[in-house]
Amino acid sequence: MKKTFYSLLSLFVLFGLLSLKLKQIQALTSFSKTVYVEIDRQKDSTLFVPYSKAWLESWNFDNPDLRCIASPAMNAENYLVAFNGRSDNLYTLLHPKIINGALTLYSPYDPKSFQVHDDGELRYPIKGTEPNDNFLNSQELRDQMCHYLGLFGPQSTRPLANQYGEDSTVIWADGTVSYVYPPRNYEWYRDSEIIKYKVRLKILVKKNGDEKKRIIESIAPMVFEIREGQITGERELFWLDYNEIKPHLKEGYFFNERGKPITYLKYFEEIVIEGGK
């Protein structure tokens, strides 16, 4: 009886080892590769136009109540009204969802070193200290996010004057005295400035080299890099997790050549199948 038991146990262990070995072999014969697809507005304007009039309204200049690093950013109520229900183009659709915290913004580089590029791996989320923090309710998070959503103008070299006509100063807790300068101008990146969308794709490949499946992992809006008034290149503003934005892509649509409305979601799902080869 004992011999029978140990024989069965040995067979069970052997079967388990063989199954584990088979799984390891299968893992070694399953591959994936990462590719990038760029959707260029010059070649396909589907996601870029029409430009939205929401960006032309006075929400960012009329008595702003939200500031980024002391610079006037926007009147929150006017902003929300201007963008309510807007899906004129992809950037206009996504922007308010980034502002209200529905979408997480990921830095395209290590925010601490500015040297390590992320390439859409989503390693550097820009988040507040509290779970519900967003651009509207957290000054700390707003001061981080503003660097990815817009540009600051130059700092004035002349301090503000106080009531006596003297340079305004502030005394900090450690006794340090600093001059008080006028706030810098802050300009948002608008929908008309988005020149491309960069899409990170993972492609699963069979052992014979045939493609098995394509998966969109992340998306980045891109703008021109401008230095001293000259275009010097292109860069990603930030990355978004495709799984996060996917439910919202049903809200936007365009008309194909036959006049049929096609959702942004269907557009991206077709890229998974046909693009990036």
Report how many domains make up the chain: 1
Rounded Cα–Cα distance for residues 220 and 26 (Å): 34
Model confidence pTM above 0.85? no
143 falls within a domain: yes
Rounded Cα–Cα distance for residues 93 and 83 (Å): 8
Q: For 267, phi and psi rounded to 5 degrees?
A: -60, -50
What is the domain extent for residue 144?
Answer: 31-274
113 falls within a domain: yes
CA angle 134, 116, 224 (to 5 degrees): 70
Q: 198-240: per-residue pLDDT in tens?
A: 999 999 888 877 778 899 999 999 999 988 778 899 999 999 9
24 falls within a domain: no
Token duo for residue 26? 């299968």
Q: 113-170: per-residue pLDDT in tens?
A: 878 889 999 999 999 999 999 999 999 999 999 999 999 877 666 766 666 666 576 7
100 falls within a domain: yes
**How far is C-alpha 56 from the geometric centre of its chain's CA atoms?**
23
Say if strands 253-255 and 261-263 run parallel, antiparallel, or are unpaired.
Answer: antiparallel
Rounded Cα–Cα distance for residues 200 and 276 (Å): 9
Q: 4-58: per-residue pLDDT in tens?
A: 544 544 544 444 544 555 444 444 446 888 999 999 999 999 999 999 999 988 8
